[in-house]
Amino acid sequence: MNGLNRWLAENAIVVPTGPVLTEAAVALGIVLICLALGYAAGRALGPRVAQFWTRRVGGHAEGLGPRMGLIIRHLVAFLLLSIVFRSQHEWQTPASIVFGLALGYTAALAAVQVLRGLNLPRWMSWLIAGVLFVALLSNAVGGLDKITETLDMIGFNLGKHRFSLMALVTILVTFVALFAAFRLINRVLSHTIGQARSLDPTQKLLAQKLAAIAVIVVAFFFGIDLLGLDLTTFAVFSGAFGLAVGFGLQKTIGNLIAGIILLMDRSIKPGDIIVVGDSFGWVNKIGVRAVSVLTRDGKEHLIPNENLMTQEVENWSYSDRNVRVRIPVRVSYKSDLELAQALMMRAAVESPRTLDSPKPTVRLTAFADSAVEHDILVWISDPEGGVGSVHSDVLIRLWQLFKEHGIEIPLAQRDIHLHHATATEKASDDA
């Protein structure tokens, strides 16, 4: 036994004595109490906070809402542990290790729940959790300075700047924290703007996009300030970046600006029925780069924003959703025109999608070679349903009415006159 004590003393290994072990046991008891209080707070406050968060963030709460109970549990335990640990200035090493393990554990789990609730990658969440655990445990036992010094030693100098493992960890943690904060603030702002009753859907979408851009700009400059970077260092790359924008990113920047202009002048809004070239459908979404147009076939056409600014666009619902549909009809010269026109009007009126006001009309347009041509003009208020179905429904009804009343729809015909040559004409031809 004396030999063991001598070996421990020679290697500077301190064996905990009775008071030290007692303090460690007290620290362990305090940790268990704090964890229990955190568990109770999560059970009691979690559902209420989740409901409040869902009301404030709406459909964007699918990530953080179900995790609110766990987040509150770990955060409350962490805060209680921090208060108790900081209230006593001198804890012995075993007690400090107990508190450090508990602080790192609760902070790491809270960070994982928050980051995963914001849909950050799993590896990123656990990496930040690991950094928090090591930092809090090292700080509790007084070894954080040694770790930072060691990480700072692993690196190299480039001019006046020092690139080290510590700088890499700092940049990574700052980036993840700002990215998570951006997503959280963007969700809250998007829901708040979406609930504003004084704005129409287009103004809400524009405000949401401008708010997102503003949050990105603020996060960028805030990150630069946190990392202590000098903005003048980016002056070297400004020329190259401007050249890249001028050539490589010209279309991207143009589409971004075109999208903002479309939202500002409200010429095209989500829900509008538009025709661009061969694409016909209703606007599903106006994105940063392109406008999503959903067709009647269920296909989604992505049209660059810039094309909508430079090409001719038909907007069927720009100022009024009522659209007039023209249906050509041909009847025989032998038919009773007044009866035929009355049947055309009846078929148009009985079609379910046609409007009573403006009421349908029938116009005689031409006396053609083989038929009398008419146009049935009907109005609809739901162009997103397409015009082909209205056209087909009216013609089917008209076909049945024409058959019942003996109105003939003529085929194309030509009159051929045969001329018989006389004897004199034959003699002249033979000569």
How confident is the model at residue 282, as a pLDDT? Answer: 80
Closest CA to 286 of 312, 320, 258, 311: 258
Residue range 125-131: average pLDDT? 85
CA distance 256 to 290: 8
Range with lowest mean pLDDT among 121-135, 136-150, 373-387, 397-411: 136-150
For residue 285 the two structure tokens come to: 């979404």
How confident is the model at residue 82, as a pLDDT? Answer: 86
Per residue in 178-211, pLDDT tens?
A: 888 877 777 777 777 777 776 767 677 777 777 7
Per residue in 334-377, pLDDT tens?
A: 888 889 999 999 999 998 888 888 889 999 999 888 889 999 99
User: Are β-strands 279-286 and 314-315 bridged in parallel, bridged antiparallel, or unpaired?
Assistant: unpaired
Residue range 406-428: average pLDDT? 68
- Give the residues across from 155 on adjacent strands: 164
Range with lowest mean pLDDT among 12-26, 158-172, 302-316: 12-26
Per residue in 35-78, pLDDT tens?
A: 899 889 888 888 888 787 777 665 554 567 778 888 888 888 88
How confident is the model at residue 419, as a pLDDT? Answer: 66
Q: Can you give 92-139 as a three-state secondary structure string?
A: CHHHHHHHHHHHHHHHHHHHHHHHHHCCCCHHHHHHHHHHHHHHHHHH
Per residue in 240-288, pLDDT tens?
A: 566 665 655 667 777 777 777 777 767 777 778 888 877 778 888 877 7
Closest CA to 318 of 265, 389, 390: 265
User: Given CA atoms 370, 371, 372, 374 in this order, what sign does their dihedral have?
Assistant: negative
How confident is the model at residue 363, as a pLDDT? Answer: 92
How confident is the model at residue 15, as a pLDDT? Answer: 45
Residue range 84-92: average pLDDT? 75
Quick one: pLDDT band at residue 12, thresholds 50, 70, 90? very low
Q: Give the three-state DSSP class for 67.
A: helix
Residue range 388-398: average pLDDT? 89
- Percent of the chain at pLDDT exceeding 70: 76
